[in-house]
Amino acid sequence: MSTPARRPTRARGTRRPAPAGPDAVDSRGTELELEVGPVAHGGHCVARHEGRVVFVRHALPGERVVARVTEGAEGASFWRADAVRVLAADADRVEPPCPVAGPGLCGGCDFQHATPARQRTLKATVVSEQFRRLAGLDVDVTVEEAPLPGADGDGLRWRTRTQFAVDAEGRTGLRAHRSHQVVPLQDCPISTEAVVGSGVLGARFGNVGTVEVAAGSDGAAPLVVVEPLPGTHAHVPKLPDASVAVRTPEGLHRVSGRTWVGERVTVRVGEQERQHAFRVGGAGFWQVHPAAPRLLGEAVLAALAPQPGEHALDLYSGVGLFTALLADAVGADGTVLAVEGEERAVRDARRSLHEHPQVELWAGAVEEALTDDELAGRRTDLVVLDPPRSGAGRAVVDGIAALAPRAVAYVACDPAALARDTKFLSGHGYRLDGLRAFDLFPMTHHVECVARFVR
C-alpha cells in the first residue's frame, strides 16, 4: 500500500455570507424582531427580514424573538443572528443548564435552550430535510435516545473526549461560536466527570494552543494531550489525576502515565453478549458518547446481518471497533479487511485484534485502497464505512460499488454528507433500505446515522 495518510479530521467548513461590496454598511449589532421559522442544518433556525434570510441561533421554530445580527452587511445574501430576547416562547424552551450557553458566549452547544426530547425532534427534521433536498428521498426517521447508566436523560455528562482551547493568559475553555475568542471554563456540563476531574479546567498552560482530554471506559486516569503553539516549548502544569503527553510534529511525547486510553465494549448479538477491549493511542478517534460503540456496533450488525464464511470490508476502520464485531460474525472461515489512514490507529488495532487471524489491516488512504488490484480481485460480501464528517465522496462510493457487496452499512456524523453519498450510491443501483439515527451528541446539532444500502 501507499504511504499511510493521516485520517481526515471530523470537521466541516462554515459558510459565510456572500460579500456585499466595499461600501456596504456593516449590520452587526442591529436588532430585529423576527418570527422564527424551521430548524436548519447547523444548529440554527431560519427567519426572514424584509425578504432576507436570517439564520438565528438560540431560538426555536415558531417563537417570536429579538435577534441581534452577528454577521452580515447591507446587500449580503443572508445574515446570522443570536436571539437575545424571547417575546413569545415555545413550550419546549428551558433555561440552559450551562451559564455560558448563550448569545456571544461558548459555542460548544447549540440546543441547551430546548428539552432533550425536542432536540431529538429538531434533529430528525434536519435529517429528513437533508435527504429530501440532497438525495430526493422522503425518509421518516426518529432520533433515538442514547441512555447513560444512572443518568436521568438530561443530556449532560456524556462527552468522554473534549478538546479545549487555550487563551493568551493560559486559561482553558471553548471558543465562542464562529470566533477565535476563548471563553474560559471551570466546568463543561456535557463533559464527563472524568474529563472535568482531569484538572485541565482552571489550570494555567503556557505556549499551548489546545488541550485535549480523553477518558477511556476502562476506569484508568484520563489522558491529557497538549499541543504547543508552533515553534514553542509548552509549559504544562502538574496534573496528578491524569496521564499527560505532548503532541509535536514529530509525534506524541510522554510526560507522565501512559499515552493511550483503554476502551471496553459489550455488544449484544442475538441472545449472546460479546466483549472487546481496544487501545486508542493519544487522543485518537473513538466515539465520544459512552453508549455509542454499543449502539452503533449493534446497528451495523443488524444492517449487514453478516453470516459465517462471508467476506467483509471495513473502511475508515480506526482502531477496529466494527472490524472486531464483523470478525466474530463471519468466523474463522470468513475474512475482514480493515483500511485506515492513520498509522497509529492501525498499530493500535493490530494490538487489539491479534487474536483474530481472519482480520487483515491495511494502512493507507481509503481512496487508494479501493483502486488496489488485490482488493479488486477479492470477493466482498459486506462493506461498512465510517468516514469523516465530510463523508465518503464520489470516488469512494464508486470504488465500493465496483466491489458489488450485497449490503453496505454507512455510519455518518453529518446527514448532509450521507444524503449526498446516498444519491451517489443510488446511481450504482443501491437503494436506501433502512435508516437509524442516534442522539449521540446531546445539546449540540450533531446526530449520528446508520444507513443500510442493498442492491
Contact 342, 4 (CB under 8 A): yes
Single out the residue of 282, 277, 284, 327 nearest to residue 304, CA to CA: 327
The per-residue pLDDT of the chain, averaged, comes to 94
CA distances (Å), origin 237, targets 111, 139, 173, 253: 34, 51, 16, 16
The reported pLDDT for the residue numbered 270 is 81
Residue 316, marked binder = yes
| Structural domain contains residue 224 | yes
Helix, strand and coil in the chain, % to nearest 5: 20, 35, 45
Residue 212, marked binder = no
Where does a domain end: 244, 261, 278? 261
Percent share of the chain, pLDDT over 90:
91
| Structural domain contains residue 253 | yes
- Least confident window among 11-15, 166-170, 295-299: 11-15
The reported pLDDT for the residue numbered 22 is 56
Q: Locate 24 and state its grid cell.
A: 456596504
Q: Quick: pLDDT tens for 335-392.
A: 999 999 999 999 999 999 999 999 999 999 999 999 999 999 999 999 999 999 999 9
Give the H or E element holding residue 385: strand 382-385
| Structural domain contains residue 124 | no
**Looking at the structure, do residues 331 and 219 belong to the same domain, yes or no?**
no
Phi, psi of 358 (to 5 degrees): -80, 0
| Structural domain contains residue 8 | no
**Looking at the structure, do residues 54 and 167 belong to the same domain, yes or no?**
no
- Rounded-to-integer distance, Cα 282 and Cα 258, Å: 9
Q: How many domains, in total, are found in the chain?
A: 3
Question: From the candidates 45, 109, 188, 413, which is the catalytic residue?
Answer: 413
The reported pLDDT for the residue numbered 2 is 34
Residue 264 CA to chain centroid, in angstroms? 20
With cut-offs at 50, 70 and 90, classify the pLDDT of residue 163. Answer: very high
- For residue 13, pLDDT beyond 70: no
| Structural domain contains residue 114 | no
Residue 272, marked binder = no
Exposed / middle / buried, residue 69 (Cβ in 10 Å: 0-12, 13-18, 19+) = buried
CATH number of 432's domain:
3.40.50.150
Single out the residue of 213, 256, 248 nearest to residue 232, CA to CA: 248
**Looking at the structure, do residues 267 and 251 belong to the same domain, yes or no?**
no
With cut-offs at 50, 70 and 90, classify the pLDDT of residue 283. Answer: confident
The reported pLDDT for the residue numbered 152 is 84
What is Dmax (Cα atoms) for the chain? 70
Exposed / middle / buried, residue 136 (Cβ in 10 Å: 0-12, 13-18, 19+) = exposed
The reported pLDDT for the residue numbered 299 is 98
**Looking at the structure, do residues 253 and 363 belong to the same domain, yes or no?**
no
**Looking at the structure, do residues 289 and 361 belong to the same domain, yes or no?**
yes
- In sequence order, the 6+-apart residues with CB closer than 8 A to the CB of 375 are 313, 337, 369, 403
Q: Quick: pLDDT tens for 384-420.
A: 999 999 999 999 999 999 999 999 999 999 999 999 9
What integer is the mean pLDDT of 187-205?
A: 97
Single out the residue of 159, 133, 134, 136 nearest to residue 148, CA to CA: 159
CA distances (Å), origin 109, targets 97, 215, 323, 445: 11, 20, 32, 8
**Looking at the structure, do residues 317 and 244 belong to the same domain, yes or no?**
no
User: Phi-psi category of 120—alpha, beta or left, where left has phi over 0 and alpha has psi -120 to 50?
Assistant: alpha
CA distances (Å), origin 186, targets 181, 183, 197, 206: 16, 10, 11, 18
What integer is the mean pLDDT of 217-229?
A: 97
- For residue 259, pLDDT beyond 80: yes
**Looking at the structure, do residues 278 and 407 belong to the same domain, yes or no?**
yes
- Least confident window among 11-25, 95-109, 250-264: 11-25
**Looking at the structure, do residues 266 and 238 belong to the same domain, yes or no?**
no
- For residue 189, pLDDT beyond 80: yes
Q: Locate 273 and state its grid cell.
A: 453478549
- For residue 173, pLDDT beyond 60: yes
**Looking at the structure, do residues 193 and 320 belong to the same domain, yes or no?**
no
Where does a domain end: 261, 292, 327? 261
What integer is the mean pLDDT of 80-108?
A: 97
**Looking at the structure, do residues 308 and 372 belong to the same domain, yes or no?**
yes
With cut-offs at 50, 70 and 90, classify the pLDDT of residue 21. Answer: low
Q: Is 413 a catalytic residue?
A: yes
**Looking at the structure, do residues 349 and 234 belong to the same domain, yes or no?**
no
| Structural domain contains residue 140 | no
With cut-offs at 50, 70 and 90, classify the pLDDT of residue 112. Answer: very high
CATH number of 43's domain:
2.40.50.140
Report CA torsion sign: 152, 155, 158, 164.
negative
The reported pLDDT for the residue numbered 150 is 77
| Structural domain contains residue 150 | no
Q: Quick: pLDDT tens for 292-344.
A: 999 999 999 999 999 999 999 999 999 999 999 999 999 999 999 999 999 99
| Structural domain contains residue 131 | no
**Looking at the structure, do residues 420 and 445 belong to the same domain, yes or no?**
yes
Parent domain of 278 = 262-454
What integer is the mean pLDDT of 197-219?
A: 97
Residue 386, marked binder = yes
The reported pLDDT for the residue numbered 15 is 53
- For residue 106, pLDDT beyond 60: yes
Residue type, 12: R
Contact 254, 277 (CB under 8 A): no
Where does a domain end: 261, 284, 300? 261
The reported pLDDT for the residue numbered 229 is 98
